[in-house]
């Protein structure tokens, strides 16, 4: 198994753009931690012979937990699973949670990578997003964190209709100034049932501007290239040896286990997902029952997922893998369907791999959907 994902479903406040599973009510935090540890123990028989290469605390906001609480979960993993000595252990964090004392305590745990949700260094952006931190928090936490952690990635958001090209460039330059070795950069999207969707519908927030977002993306490619960062996945930029091992395993189709409410797991052919109701999750695990649903992925689903994730990466789609996993006929069909994109130079065929070109990077999802098996 490549890794374990642990979902921490608590946040201090709701960001206007977010549709992930979380709660701002933390009263059940202690019971939740017990439930997560119980799920880990209950499921250890699923992965008796495999070595864990990565552990990822996501959310929500994992840093709402105390360091001792994070250690309790980690201790359970190490007691019941084989964890590689070189495992990547990532903690998603918000700047307002990362004071000097907490960072120093985190540095003394097995956590060796921080993923910090900066989003923007501009105060107006953070207010618009309803983030819990401010611009001063964003810079201060990086000053401290970079002293204690070498492996840090930060999230930045672009495509906001109120963000100028120059403001976006300033965000990137500020990040580079801290010596950050990995960036995850996401275009703002309007997710269903979010506050952002509501504000746009009632006219209190400007609608998305696809042209501006595309220009922001071009600036992102220019600036990261100047810094020598490798654009190894649509939203991910890093120096060699600093690529996200955990996320890369998702994109390469490796197996993983998801623990916690709403977390997904994948064993190569079957996908399962836990209940997204915190109370139901906790109550079920108190009775030693994992509350989940599952599905066996069809050939079409497995093919389409590989196309989608493969095109997002620098490694592309292996035609050898397509032939082995899905057959020569499907491989031939894929080559035929990809012709128009190779002619338009949004795809190239290189070393028996179909890869997205710079021209096609901002269009990768649309290209992938045209290559899907229906």
Question: What's this model's pTM, rounded to 2 decimal places?
Answer: 0.93
Do 221 and 336 have their domain in common? Answer: no
Give per-residue pLDDT as tens, 8-58.
Answer: 999 988 888 887 888 888 889 999 999 999 999 999 988 777 899 999 999
pLDDT of residue 26: 87
Instruction: For residue 29, give the CATH number of its domain.
Output: 3.80.30.20
Do 241 and 322 have their domain in common? Answer: no
Domain that residue 323 falls in:
299-371
Strand order in the sheet with 256-259: 230-233, 236-238, 182-187, 152-158, 113-119, 82-93, 51-59, 3-8, 256-259, 264-266, 270-274, 292-296
N-to-C CA span, the chain: 30
User: In angstroms, how far is CA 150 from the centroid of its own chain?
Assistant: 20
Do 13 and 128 have their domain in common? Answer: yes
Residue pair 5/247 in contact (Cβ under 8 Å)? The answer is no
In a domain, 88, yes or no: yes
Do 244 and 306 have their domain in common? Answer: no
Do 306 and 240 have their domain in common? Answer: no
Torsion of CA 353, 354, 359, 364, to 10 degrees: -120
Give per-residue pLDDT as tens, 115-134.
Answer: 999 999 999 999 998 999 99
In a domain, 257, yes or no: no
Residue pair 76/24 in contact (Cβ under 8 Å)? The answer is no
Give per-residue pLDDT as tens, 238-266.
Answer: 999 999 999 999 998 889 999 999 999 99
Compute the distance between CA of residue 57 and CA of residue 6 in angstroms, rounded to an integer. Answer: 5
pLDDT of residue 193: 81
Whole-number Cα distances in Å, 366 to 47, 211, 304, 316: 36, 16, 12, 15
- Torsion-angle region of 206 (φ positive above 0: left; ψ -120 to 50: alpha; else: beta): beta
The pair of structure tokens assigned to 228 is 């020598």
In a domain, 263, yes or no: no
In a domain, 349, yes or no: yes
pLDDT of residue 295: 97
Do 244 and 307 have their domain in common? Answer: no
Compute the distance between CA of residue 248 and CA of residue 229 in angstroms, rounded to an integer. Answer: 16
In a domain, 25, yes or no: yes
- In this structure, are strands 236-238 and 182-187 parallel, antiparallel, or unpaired? antiparallel
What lies within 8 Å, CB to CB, of 232 at 6+ separation is 238, 243, 248, 313, 314
pLDDT, mean over the chain = 94
Where is the domain boundary, 218, 233, 251? 251
Do 18 and 90 have their domain in common? Answer: yes
Do 193 and 124 have their domain in common? Answer: yes
Compute the distance between CA of residue 329 and CA of residue 337 in angstroms, rounded to an integer. Answer: 12
SS3 category, 351: coil
Do 309 and 246 have their domain in common? Answer: no
Instruction: For residue 356, give the CATH number of its domain.
Output: 1.10.10
In a domain, 202, yes or no: yes
Q: What's the structural domain count of the chain?
A: 2
Do 13 and 159 have their domain in common? Answer: yes
Give per-residue pLDDT as tens, 68-113.
Answer: 999 999 999 999 999 999 999 999 999 999 999 999 999 999 999 9
Name the one residue in this structure whose structure tokens are 């609480």: 69
Do 230 and 314 have their domain in common? Answer: no
pLDDT of residue 208: 82
In a domain, 261, yes or no: no
pLDDT of residue 1: 58
Whole-number Cα distances in Å, 256 to 55, 245, 251, 324: 10, 12, 11, 22
In a domain, 262, yes or no: no
What lies within 8 Å, CB to CB, of 200 at 6+ separation is 190, 206, 207, 208
Give per-residue pLDDT as tens, 192-238.
Answer: 888 878 787 888 888 888 899 999 999 999 999 999 999 999 999 99
Do 303 and 238 have their domain in common? Answer: no
pLDDT of residue 199: 82
């Amino acid at each position: 198994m490549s890794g374990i994902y642990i979902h921490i479903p608590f946040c201090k406040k709701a960001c206007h753009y977010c549709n992930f599973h979380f709660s701002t009510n933390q009263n059940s935090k202690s019971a939740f931690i017990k439930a997560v540890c119980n799920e880990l123990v209950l499921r250890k028989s699923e992965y008796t012979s495999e070595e864990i290469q990565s552990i990822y605390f996501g959310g929500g906001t994992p840093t709402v937990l105390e360091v001792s609480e994070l250690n309790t979960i980690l201790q359970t993993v190490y007691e019941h699973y084989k964890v590689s000595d070189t495992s990547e252990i990532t903690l998603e964090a918000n700047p307002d949670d990362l004071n000097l004392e907490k960072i120093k305590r985190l540095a003394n745990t097995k956590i060796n990578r921080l993923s910090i949700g900066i989003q923007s260094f501009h105060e107006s952006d953070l207010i618009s997003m309803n983030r819990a931190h401010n611009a001063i928090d964003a810079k201060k936490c990086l000053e401290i964190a970079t002293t204690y952690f070498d492996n840090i990635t930060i999230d930045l958001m672009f495509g906001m209709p109120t963000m100028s090209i120059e403001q976006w460039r300033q965000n990137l330059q500020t990040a580079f100034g801290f010596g950050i070795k990995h960036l995850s950069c996401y275009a703002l999207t309007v997710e269903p049932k979010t506050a952002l969707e509501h504000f746009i519908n009632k006219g209190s927030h400007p609608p998305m501007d696809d042209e501006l977002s595309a220009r922001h993306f071009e600036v992102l490619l220019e600036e990261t290239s100047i810094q020598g960062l490798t654009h190894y996945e649509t939203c991910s930029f890093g120096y060699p040896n600093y690529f996200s091992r955990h996320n890369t395993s998702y994109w390469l189709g490796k197996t993983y286990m998801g623990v916690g409410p709403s977390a997904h797991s994948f064993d190569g052919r079957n996908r399962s997902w836990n209940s997204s109701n915190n109370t139901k999750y906790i109550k079920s695990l108190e009775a030693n029952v994992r509350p989940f649903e599952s599905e066996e992925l069809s050939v079409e689903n497995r093919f389409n997922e590989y196309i989608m994730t493969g095109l997002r990466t620098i490694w592309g789609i292996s035609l050898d893998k397509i032939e082995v996993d899905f057959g020569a006929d499907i491989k031939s069909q894929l080559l035929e369907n990809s012709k128009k994109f190779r002619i338009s130079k949004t795809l190239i065929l290189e070393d028996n791999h179909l890869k997205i070109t710079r021209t096609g990077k901002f269009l990768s999802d649309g290209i992938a959907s045209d290559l899907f098996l229906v």
